[in-house]
Amino acid sequence: MEFIHISIDQKGKFGIRAELTGEYWEAESLEGLIEILRKLFNEKIKKQGIKGRKMDKKKMAELAEKELKEEERKKQFRIIKKAIKGELEKLEEKKKKRKELDEEIKIHKQNIDNIREGRLDLIEERQRKDEKAKAVSTIIIEKEKIVEKPYPYPVETWPIKPWYEPYRIWCTTDDCTDYVNTGSYMTVNCSVAKDASPGTYELNSGKVTSFT
């Protein structure tokens, strides 16, 4: 006898499909299912000339129950595998977002530390080499081109020491519009950055952070 597959839909209707021939039967109840199986079994025996007793209803019921349990187990396996795959997809998505956020947090922390240390040159170098560092930052820093003065020049003012070299600062947030017009820049040196950093900062969230 060829293999058959038994299924049950959401409305409780039974379906029987022959694996080799593709024939399909439907039954409205378990009793109808058993009756179809019994007829199929007996027809197969008759065609093949097999001697023996016809399968009784009890055997058919046991067979039907076994097939239903196997089908239900397959459904359970499928739902569990789909659930795990769904969780893995979400986990991978969150990991990717966390990695991106960690990289952005690192850039912001570096910017804060560099400003407090008066190292605008490090921010400028980082933004020049890494487009993401430039895109994430709330300020854009570029080194201002220095036009050399002809000799003689005052020793105390020329050449300019790195600590006092001018940097152009563009602000990318609305917080700076009170000080710099949109699209404009302000010239600041490392010394000013370090001296201006200490203070108390109240964030939009209500958190207060202080630097000395």
List the domain range (segments joined by +) for residue 61.
4-84
Span 108-116, average pLDDT: 95
| Peptide bond between residue 152 and the one before it cis (omega within 30 degrees of 0) | yes
- 181-185 long-range contacts (CB < 8 A, ≥24 apart) are 185/142
| Mean pLDDT score across all residues of the chain | 79
What span, in angstroms and rounded, lies between the C-alpha atoms of 12 and 20? 25
**What phi-psi label fits residue 180: left (phi over 0), alpha (psi between -120 and 50 degrees) or beta?**
beta
pLDDT single digits (tens) 48-107: 554 444 555 677 677 777 777 887 888 888 899 999 999 999 999 999 999 999 999 999
- Position 1 scores a pLDDT of 45
Q: What is the count of structural domains for the chain?
A: 2
Q: State whether 207 and 125 are in the same domain.
A: yes
Q: Is the pLDDT of residue 36 over 80?
A: no
Pick the more confident residue, 109 or 163: 109
Q: State whether 72 and 135 are in the same domain.
A: no
In a domain, 90, yes or no: no
> Helix and strand tally (H, E) in the chain?
5, 8
Q: State whether 16 and 69 are in the same domain.
A: yes
- Position 69 scores a pLDDT of 81
- Position 144 scores a pLDDT of 84
Q: State whether 57 and 124 are in the same domain.
A: no
Pairing relationship of beta strands 199-202 and 208-211 according to DSSP bridges? antiparallel
- 98-106 long-range contacts (CB < 8 A, ≥24 apart) are 103/132, 104/136
User: Do residues 189 and 198 touch, judged by C-beta distance below 8 A?
Assistant: no
What span, in angstroms and rounded, lies between the C-alpha atoms of 46 and 81? 42
Tell which of 66, 84, 102 closes a domain. Answer: 84
* Residues 6 or more apart whose Cβ sits within 8 Å of residue 137: 107, 108, 111, 123, 127, 172
Pick the more confident residue, 147 or 97: 97
Of the candidate ranges 47-56, 124-133, 200-209, the one whose mean pLDDT is the lowest: 47-56
- Position 157 scores a pLDDT of 52
- Position 3 scores a pLDDT of 62
User: What is residue 71's three-state secondary structure?
Assistant: helix
Q: State whether 132 and 48 are in the same domain.
A: no
Both structure tokens of 19: 């694996």
Q: Is the pLDDT of residue 45 over 60?
A: no
* Residues 6 or more apart whose Cβ sits within 8 Å of residue 33: 6, 14, 16, 27, 64
- Position 185 scores a pLDDT of 83
Q: State whether 44 and 125 are in the same domain.
A: no
Pick the more confident residue, 26 or 93: 93
Span 1-19, average pLDDT: 67
Task: Tell me the pTM.
Answer: 0.60
- Position 51 scores a pLDDT of 47
In a domain, 110, yes or no: no
Give the count of beta carbons closer than 10 Å to the beta carbon of residue 96. 10
pLDDT single digits (tens) 159-184: 557 788 889 998 887 766 555 555 67
Q: With bands split at pLDDT 50, 70 and 90, how would you rate the model's confidence at 192?
A: very high
